Structure 1
């Protein structure tokens, strides 16, 4: 008697799996459909079991036999789907001509394994470029591109590239940063541009100075003693952005303790760093009980903060004022509009805090290793304080060496070390004389590019003078894009620079800085983590009052 688990039935299931890959899953994006695929698969299997029991041959009236039969055929279908995918990726894929680790062509699990080692993916990718060249296939559909010509081709306003699937990571929240279509991005970016224009920045300046004073008070109280500046610069930047996003401080500078928001955010960013190449996992995490507990808790906390901020409008506008004004001007805001508002509130608090804190920490790390650079900076700052009254954001922005020091910190320790993900247009993209096929994920590894001798002379050295008196050390200034480039560049760049300039100038005016006893450069560098934004381990320093 022929049964449904005989060879013809198994072969049929196998080829159905092959057909699903060729005609369905081979094109388009499926990262957000993880839970739907699992539910649909389970539903189809359950329906097949019931169909066999009640409508099939008599021998399948046994539930156990029906389940066994359907499961067997299902796994043959999965085998056909998997084998077809692996053959296509390994032999016929459009990126097959590009070099890279052999296993990387089959699955993003390879690049994920590199990240999972120490969250030093930026160094792993740099090593791969040294081995394979400017174009490295990191995944089935993903290229890492360390070509100076790629900056304009991929990131500029004239680029036909769009943001890649990574930007679905917060779905269904869609903040400004996560918008993938240019049509939707333009009107929302205009609102944000108003929130960061020159007048708005002047309104924010008193907040920046107030929190800078709180930070200086702590440094004064601990002068000459080791302190973990990684924490305290985080306390500073999160307090500033909490005020500008939600109209209230997290009071971390006041209390000297980590707030729930900062701890939860850093835990989330670690997960993003680990699984940023497996975006299909995130919908699964969000939908699975127990696994999604902290996600739901954080979302509810954020909603409460936004609701409180909406009910208490400040006398002096903050960044969220502009976003909220635009939202409330809508006649009939949709559920997605409400989610977008929540996403934008998160973006304000997150984007300006993590990156600012990392830049300050790395900047003072480099100054501690370069006493001559610190001395030169102190002379420039001292001269400004002697000749200007008041010293404000405008006068600080004119200090060339201060900006040079900031640029060098950003160059050696870019806030987004692995760069921003983009996708090529369907027709493909020419980068110089290299054609990258269409619908390919491309990423410029900023850590690697900023340390490329074709772009910067003595690229691994901290030399602020390359931006002032030794400009010949910058071979291609157009490649220096720590804030990205074009329409999707960092909208809060000027606010972040204001904070970094204020804090740096005020500290070096008062203190000499050095690494604390026992703190080694290697320990700090080993503790850096690539979590999309740069995350840092503790850095213990001593601030000694200047004579």
Structure 2
């Protein structure tokens, strides 16, 4: 027979509010007798009672894992789960303590046993019974995502850590309990191709509740919103953006001239980032922070740079970020950033530019819609996407292009001669120079803008990669850095040889794996704008200057300082720019 108690409890949320309710507590009859045993000292529990509570609590943890948490995604719900447990603890044990004498320490002990049961079941399942158990990888990676996070955070060189794991374990490596990294060449088409049945993974919830186009996981929603974005990157639209790009290039050349006249080297990593950010901010909000002109970081730029570290940290821990977003004080910068975005949107909405920008198309579609809270959040996300996604990757590619041009002056001279033969340096003429695109391609092959690849989830029925079947509901991704340097796809994979894309095609064994802008329905919408900016900067700078490394700079230091924060963040790269007609200065240290 069981004892049922209805214990009234009053919760004071803060004067003058209070809530009063009754909750039924079900207590097994033998436990009830132990609670009221006259021989038991007050505030203590008999040994059989402790055993019963520990067994029941542990078993409930195992059941919670097997019946609930083993299936589905719980990352975004992590704060709600925490609150649920706290409230459940209060409802179950506090009435029992105040009305039945149930000891507080025993209540905490029961909670501890539940958590222990939950995590023990989780670890045992992940280690030996998970559907990915047959795939190789470090044992600790089977148990927790903290393993690959720890390896990533050592130097923020996740791309190198993953490459090492593939060299040790083969094409299929279990990086985390539910995650596979796949370096098999046929995986590129199977996971990212137009006909791929995969969907975007939980990483794409990092900005929740906001969902920019890039992070839309629903394929139909993504397709609908992509149509709007495509308008902003049409041929006509790109022509309209040319004056803004030209203005930024003139400012960049002005910075180079000032540094050259002062006899100073110039950190192109910083100034290329300023250059692209100024352009994208102009195309998003019809204004610029003028970082190039002022040679100074703006608030938003500093904030985004700081956030890139968080993105690297939470790449494999998406369940942790919702806590920081919702915790007062800790979320101060997060709230400040989105308030800034809202302020820019408000100002931009009041001042439509004479010449349409990217945001014109997005804002027009938003104003035609119902304007729900979700729509407003997505507008926030799209505004952020224009600025961040459009700047980080382009800046990284530009920096690495100039790194290789400084490393190989003969290549720079060859390109320069090609540019001199053109009627002018308009983009229409620059696209006729095959070597320029070959240099850009080879740069992105060795230094991909998204070095660790993008995350997908297999469909319920699973996915075949060659002769290997990947179970359903598994996170998969192809590591770009590893595959782009795979000797099965490229001869002499670690050498910078632009001619492999022009006069030496035999050096490319499988071109289909080279997808720096991704492929399929999620291919980068801004690819054409990115290439336009890169071509024009390379053309204009080489036409005016010789390029060389600053004496204090070495090849290895630059490569060592780069960071993998989803997009590649380049290390400092001081270069010297010498006007044509003068002897180039500077050298590369061994």
1:268 is aligned to: 307
Native 8 Å contact 2:187 2:465 kept in 1: yes
Q: Is the 8 A contact 1:373 1:464 kept in 2?
A: no
TM-score by length of 1: 0.96
Q: Which residue of 2 aligns with 1:73?
A: 110
Q: How does 1:194-343 map to 2 (within 5 A)?
A: 194-223=231-260, 225-330=264-369, 332-343=370-381
Does the Cα contact within 8 Å between 2:416 and 2:542 map onto a contact in 1?
A: yes
Which of the residues 387, 405, 414 maps onto 1:367? 405
In 2: Cα distance, 1:79 partner to 1:222 partner: 62
C-alpha displacement of 1:474: 0.9
In 2, the alpha carbon distance for the partners of 1:466 and 1:376 equals 16
Matches within 5 A, 1:402-481: 402-481=436-515
CA separation in 2, counterparts of 1:9 and 1:42? 18
In 2, are the aligned partners of 1:146 and 1:449 still within 8 Å (CA)?
yes
Give the Cα separation in 1 of the matches to 2:365 and 2:389. 20
C-alpha displacement at 1:53, in angstroms? 3.2
Partner residue, 2:17:
none
Q: For residue 484 of structure 1, report the CA deviation from its aligned partner.
A: 0.6
Shift of 1:367: 1.0
Partner residue in 1 for 2:215: 178
CA distances 1:317-360 after superposition (whole Å, capped 9, x unpaired): 00000000111111x22100001011001000111111111110
Offset at residue 372 of structure 1 (A): 2.1
- Equivalent position SS for 1:31: coil
The equivalent position to 1:19 in structure 2, one of 54, 63, 72, is 63
Is residue 46 of structure 1 aligned with residue 46 of structure 2?
no
Measure the CA separation in 2 of the matches of 1:110 and 1:54: 43
Structure 1's unaligned 5+ residue stretches are: none
1:8-157 aligned within 5 A? 8-55=52-99, 57=100, 59-60=101-102, 65=103, 67-157=104-194
Q: Residues 285-312 of structure 1: CA distance to partner in whole angstroms, max 9, x if unpaired?
A: 1011121111111111111111111111
Q: Distance in 1 between matches of 2:385 and 2:55?
A: 51
| Residue 392 in structure 1 maps to residue 426 in structure 2 | yes
Moved over 2 A (4+): 1-5
Q: Is the contact between residue 416 and residue 534 of structure 1 (CA under 8 Å) also seen in structure 2? A: yes
Gapped regions of structure 2 (runs ≥ 5)? 1-32, 36-44, 582-590
- Separation in 2, partners of 1:27, 1:214: 54
In 2, are the aligned partners of 1:157 and 1:487 still within 8 Å (CA)?
yes
* Bigger radius of gyration: 2
Residue 195 of structure 2: SS of its match in structure 1?
coil
The RMSD of aligned alpha carbons is: 1.1
Q: Which has the higher contact order (CA 8 A, sep 6+)?
A: 1
The Cα offsets for residues 247-294 of structure 1, whole Å up to 9 and x where unpaired, read as 101100110001111111011111111221000011011011121111
The answer to whether the Cα contact below 8 Å between 1:205 and 1:393 also exists between their aligned partners in 2 is no
User: TM-score when scaled to structure 2?
Assistant: 0.89
User: Structure 1, residues 205-243: CA drift from partner, whole Å, max 9, x if none?
Assistant: 111111101101111222253111111101100000000
Kindly provide the CA deviation profile for residues 100-148 of structure 1, in whole angstroms up to 9, marking residues without a partner as x: 0111000000000001100001001001111111110000000001111
Give the distance between the partners of 2:428 and 2:131, measured in 1 at CA. Answer: 51
SS at structure 1 position matched to 2:174: strand
Q: Secondary structure at the match of 2:575?
A: strand
1:397-425 per-residue CA deviation (whole Å, 9 max, x = no partner) reads: 22111101111111111111001000000
User: Contact (CA 8 Å) 1:512, 1:545: kept in 2 or not?
Assistant: yes
Counterpart in 2 of 1:344? 382
SS at match of 1:6: helix
Q: For the residues of structure 2 that align with 1:458 and 1:375, how far apart are their CA atoms?
A: 24
CA distance in 2, matches of 1:249, 1:45: 52
What's the offset of the Cα at 1:511? Answer: 1.0
Identify the residue that residue 401 of structure 1 maps to in structure 2: 435
| Aligned 8 A contact 2:338 2:380 in 1 | no
The alpha-carbon deviation at position 2 of structure 1 amounts to 3.1
Aligned length: 535
| Structure 1 or 2: more helix by fraction | 1
